Amino acid sequence: MDAGTDTPTEGPWYRQVSKDPWRAFWAVFLGWIVDAFDFTILTFILIDIERSFTVDSALAGALGTVTLLMRLVGGTLAGTIADRWGRKLPLMLSILWFSLFAFLSGFSTSYAMLFVFRALFGIGMGGEWAAGMPLVFEHWPTRFRGLISGIMLGGWYWGYLLATLTYEFVYPLFSATPDLGWRAMFWAAIVPALLTLWIRARVRESPVWVERQRRVRDAMAEGRFIDEPKISVFRIFRPDLLLTTLHTTLVIGSFMCVYYSINFWYPTFHIEAGRSTLPYLVAFNLAAIAGTATWGRLSETRLGRRGAVTITIAVGMAALPLYLDEGDPGALMAGAVLMGGFGMGIWGMAPAYTSERFPTSVRGVGPGFCYHAAAAIGALMPWVLGWLRDRGMELTTAMTWAMLISGALAAVLIWLGPETRGRVFHAGDDAPAG
C-alpha cells in the first residue's frame, strides 16, 4: 500500500485528498504550532530569568540547550512506540506531556527547578515530532509530500509568531511585576492539552502502519520470517541502516545549528538595542511560513531536496549583514524577510527528507532519533553564543560566524547523501531507503 493512494481528482490540489489526510495534517500542524510557542516564548524572557534567579547568559542559554538535548530522549521513545503501537498514541501523550511541563515551568522557585522542568518539557517536544511526522506523510500522496512538508514545518513559525504577539501584547500587562510576567508566559501552555481530545476522536491511524501490521501478522500466522524488530530503535543501528542514520543526523544537525545560531538570541539582539521585536519577528516569521511552503514545493521539481537546500542556505548566508545590521531599520527589515524566506527555507524539506530516508518499519524512530540527535547538536548553539557573549564577543559577531560555519556544513553534507524526492512509502518496504 502506498501512502495516500486517494484517486486524483480535478480541481485544486487541496481538494485532491480525502478528509483523513487533512485531519492527520491538522493534528500535527496544530501540535507543532503550540510546541513552537512553548519553546520560543523562552527566548523573549531570558533577561527576566537572568534577573529573577541571578544567573549569567550562559546559564540562561542552557535552558534552551537542555530542552533540545532531552528532545532526543523523547524522540527516541515516542518513535519506538510509534513503530510498535501506532503513531496516534505517542502523539497524544507527547502533547499532554509538553503542555504540562511548560505550564509547571511558570511555578519554578529556583533556577534548578526551572532547568528540570525545561528538560522534562523537551521529552514531550521530541515525541511530538517523532510520532506526528510519519502519521502525516503516511496519509498523504507522494506527489504532495514536499508541499505538505513545507506547510507543516511552517507551523513552527506560526508558533514563533504567536509567541511574539503574546510577548508584545500580553507580557506588558505584567510590567509592574516582571517576575510574574515571564511565569504567565509559561502558564498559557496548558491550553494545547485539549487538542488531544480531538486527535483521539477524529484522526485515523496511519494506513501504511496499519497495513504493515497486517502483513506482519499474516506472515507470522503462515510461519514466514519477517524482519520486524520488537524494539525498532536497534534496527537503525544495524550495518545496512547505520550510515543512513549517521548521515541524516549530521544533515539535520547542521540545519539545527543554522536555526539556533540566528534565532535563539535574536529577540535579545533587538531588546538590548531598545527596539520593539514585533515588526522584525512578524516579518521574519511570515516570510519563513511562505518560504518553507514554497521551497518544500520547489523541492518536488528538478531541484530536488538537495538543490533546494543549497539555494536557501546560500541566500540566507548572504542576508546576514542586513539581518544583523545594528543601525538601519530598513536594512533590518529586509534582512528579516530574506532570512525568514530563504535562511529558514531549508526546513521546508526537512520533514519529508528525514521520513524518506527510512523504511516503514522504522519510520517512527528513524526520523525521530535523527531529528532529535540533530537537535542535541544544535543545542550547543544557545549555550555557546551565551558563553561567547559573557566573554566579551559582540552578539552579532558570534551569531554571524556560527551561521556561516553551520550553513557551509549544511550545503556540503546534503550532497553527500542520496536525492530522496519522489520516494514511495510501502507497507512492505523492509529494505533500507538509503
- What does the pLDDT average to over 288-309? 94
User: What's the CA gap between 341 and 154, in Å, rounded?
Assistant: 11
For the chain, the structural domain boundaries read: 18-205+230-416
pLDDT in tens, 254-273: 999 999 898 888 888 888 88
User: What's the CA gap between 118 and 46, in Å, rounded?
Assistant: 13
Q: Residue 426's beta-bridge partner residues? A: 2
Give the pLDDT of residue 407.
95
User: What's the CA gap between 360 and 79, in Å, rounded?
Assistant: 12
Judge whether residue 424 has pLDDT over 50. yes
Residue 231, all three cell numbers: 524494539
- What is the amino acid identity at position 31? G
Q: Are 140 and 148 in contact (CB under 8 A)?
A: yes
Q: Are 152 and 351 in contact (CB under 8 A)?
A: yes
Give the pLDDT of residue 5.
46
DSSP state of 343: I
pLDDT in tens, 97-107: 988 898 999 99
CA distances from 39 to 105, 208, 356 (A): 11, 31, 27
Band of residue 1 on the pLDDT scale cut at 50, 70, 90: very low
Of the listed ranges 24-38, 276-290, 297-311, the one predicted with least confidence: 24-38
Band of residue 2 on the pLDDT scale cut at 50, 70, 90: very low
| Alpha helices for 191-303 (secondary structure H) | 195-202, 207-221, 239-263, 266-272, 278-298
Judge whether residue 392 has pLDDT over 70. yes
Judge whether residue 369 has pLDDT over 80. yes
Residue 217, all three cell numbers: 501478522
The CATH architecture to which 18-205+230-416 belongs is: Up-down Bundle (1.20)
Q: How many CB atoms neighbour CB 11 within 10 A?
A: 8
Q: Render the burial of 322-343: b for 16+ CB within 10 Å, e for the rest.
A: bbbbeeeeeebbbbbbbbbbbb
Q: Are 154 and 293 in contact (CB under 8 A)?
A: yes
3-state secondary structure of 426: strand
User: What's the CA gap between 254 and 409, in Å, rounded?
Assistant: 6
Mean pLDDT (the chain, rounded): 86
